[in-house]
Amino acid sequence: MDPIDKRKYLEPEMVARLSNMSLRARLVVEGYIIGQHKSPFHGFSVEFAEHRAYGPGDEIRHVDWKLYGKTDRYFVKQYEEETNLRAYILLDTSRSMEYKSSKISKLDYGNYLSAALAYLMINKQDGVGLTLFDNQIQKFIPPRSKPSHINTILTHLDTIGSGKDTDVGIVLHEMAERIKKRGLVILISDLFDETENIIKGLKHFRHNKQEIIVFHIMDRKELDFNFTNRTKFKDMETDEQITTEPWKIRKIYQQSIQSYQDELRLRCREQKIDYVPLFTDQNLDLALNEFLKKRQRLG
């Protein structure tokens, strides 16, 4: 395959055609790296992610002599505490995330983004964990940096089932209590919760000195409300229904959504939290760019 072709895997609909999550993660990241004039991900192709080059001050007893025999180069074993960053991906799997107006649901998009981020970080020798949640924590995988850990994360992402309703605030508080070591929290959600509940949960992380980036996932129709016929709308979490003529309420609806986003953006900025709105029809490199800018600032 011509390497330049891999850029197409930054498009969510192209990613959806791939057979499994491991392939999706790898091709998204490779497509992203190829698309950069100068890769911000120095060392991405490092072959032995459990090792690092031998340097002054390292003890001889930690040299991997088997690896030396294969490569004629000195490497020492990379220990968990030596990882550059400890990151926690929190992915919302609630029923509202299953909404889609095209081929890609919000959950699909969050899934692909989570997989790419995990793949990227583990190849950088960062520790990364995964939390799947709806109105409570459904799965918690602690951060690890070993190459084999990516298989654990991707297996769970590949088998996500239908969730329940959303309670972002409660989950954030519980995770803030659970996470003891400082690191980077990556929240991926449509944020279907009261603004105050979300912000209070995020503040809890900031109180514990965690860094945070929030990826707010939306379907394009959730913003433009571009429905042309009399339509029955059904709440995917409560099953409540309403029938209306969308063009009559479009303007006030759009104003409400815009106000909601503006408030989230402002409140996050006040807490020094990165807030990144994303649509399911946008290429994944937009999110990866934002992550790497954050990663660079953290050193």
The pLDDT of residue 42 is 45
Based on the domain organization, do 74 and 178 belong to the same domain?
Answer: no
Report which DSSP code applies to 4.
G
The pLDDT of residue 197 is 95
C-alpha 164/C-alpha 238 separation (Å) is 10
Based on the domain organization, do 73 and 127 belong to the same domain?
Answer: no
The pLDDT of residue 48 is 39
From the list 128, 120, 143, the residue with the least C-alpha distance to 292 is 120
From the list 144, 156, 185, the residue with the least C-alpha distance to 168 is 185
**Within a domain: 218:** yes
Instruction: Measure the CA dihedral 251/255/261/263, to 10°.
Output: -170
**Within a domain: 193:** yes
For the chain, the helix, strand and coil percentages under 3-state DSSP, each to the nearest 5: 45, 20, 35
Rg, the chain, Cα only: 21
pLDDT, averaged per 10 consecutive residues of the chain (299 residues), comes to: 65 89 90 64 43 66 73 65 78 93 94 96 91 94 92 93 85 94 95 94 94 96 75 65 70 85 95 96 94 85
**Within a domain: 23:** no
Based on the domain organization, do 281 and 224 belong to the same domain?
Answer: yes
For residues 127 and 85, is the Cβ–Cβ distance under 8 A?
Answer: yes
Model pTM? Answer: 0.80
C-alpha 206/C-alpha 203 separation (Å) is 5
Based on the domain organization, do 71 and 109 belong to the same domain?
Answer: no
Based on the domain organization, do 70 and 87 belong to the same domain?
Answer: no
**Within a domain: 282:** yes
In the chain, the number of structural domains is 2
Structure tokens at 293: 């800018």
Based on the domain organization, do 217 and 289 belong to the same domain?
Answer: yes
Return all residues near 257 (Cβ < 8 A) that are at least 6 apart.
222, 223
From the list 293, 288, 297, the residue with the least C-alpha distance to 7 is 288
C-alpha 9/C-alpha 7 separation (Å) is 5
The pLDDT of residue 132 is 96
Assign residue 215 the CATH number of its domain.
3.40.50.410
Based on the domain organization, do 95 and 227 belong to the same domain?
Answer: yes
Based on the domain organization, do 67 and 209 belong to the same domain?
Answer: no
Based on the domain organization, do 68 and 193 belong to the same domain?
Answer: no
Which range of residues forms the domain containing residue 56? Answer: 51-78
